Amino acid sequence: DIQLTQSPSFLSASVGDRVTITCRASQGISSYLAWYQQKPGKAPKLLIYAASTLQSGVPSRFSGSGSGTEFTLTISSLQPEDFATYYCQQVNSYPPLFTFGPGTKVDIK
Amino acid sequence: EVQLVESGGGLVQPGGSLRLSCAASGFTFSTYAMHWVRQAPGKGLEWVSYISSSSGSIFYADSVKGRFTMSRDNAKNSLYLQMTSLRAEDTAMYHCARGLRPVDYWGQGTLVTVSS
């Protein structure tokens, strides 16, 4: 089974900061990786899919990159509403089982 | 507007059963694969099960295989999760989610608590 790790697990940042979160896979997953944002008590929200495609309606300060085993989510200028937990996710080709990373909590410095 | 609304959660004793439902609206339900994903209190996301648009393929996480059964009724725009032999470690918020690549919409979830 493919395992995902995220770093850091916790990040303290200020409004306006550039933030980068890394997701590493235990084996190559080509480009199918997604990123989600989750706020307390809320459902996860899709931000990025296929490693770098911005979901409709998501602000352009969010971007994704990477392929193979290493992927990054970047927030170019952190906004107050971005304080949340971020998860990466991969989907097997077949069967379509998916795996989440353990999450990165972004907190206010 | 896409909406996914879960129901059926509650408090159940270990060994008990529960049936969760997910009512879908705002899209053509019969054309989308669907999932159940759960999140234990204070923990991360765990995929539970998948069903294809026609119910032709259904898959489960090893942690629930043999105990949970996922199904759907495309005529009723509804998704179900029949949970049996429940354990304390099944305590979680259960979300239904739409799609595959990507999984783009999620419901707010229904809370299942397994405790005596």
Contact B102 A49 (CB under 8 A): yes
The pLDDT of residue A49 is above 80: yes
Any chain A CB within 8 A of the CB of B106? yes
Q: What percent of chain B has pLDDT over 70?
A: 100
* Secondary structure class of A80 (helix, strand, coil): helix
CA–CA separation, A11 and B67 (whole Å): 38
Whether residue A61 contacts residue A75, with contact meaning beta carbons closer than 8 Å, is answered with yes
Contact A87 B44 (CB under 8 A): yes
pLDDT of residue B101: 84
Could you tell me the two tokens for B33? 């694969």
Task: Tell me which chain A residues have a C-beta less than 8 angstroms from the C-beta of B100.
Answer: 91, 96
Any chain B CB within 8 A of the CB of A6? no
pLDDT of residue B109: 97
Name A64's Cβ contacts closer than 8 Å, sequence gap at least 6: A33, A35, A47, A48, A51, A52, A53, A54, A71, A72, A73, A74
User: Whose CA is closest to B116, among B89, B90, B88?
Assistant: B88
Contact A42 B107 (CB under 8 A): no
Task: Indicate the pLDDT class of residue B43, thresholds 50, 70 and 90.
Answer: very high
Per-residue pLDDT tens for B68-93? 999 999 999 999 999 999 999 999 99
Omega within 30 of 0 (cis) for the link into A96: no
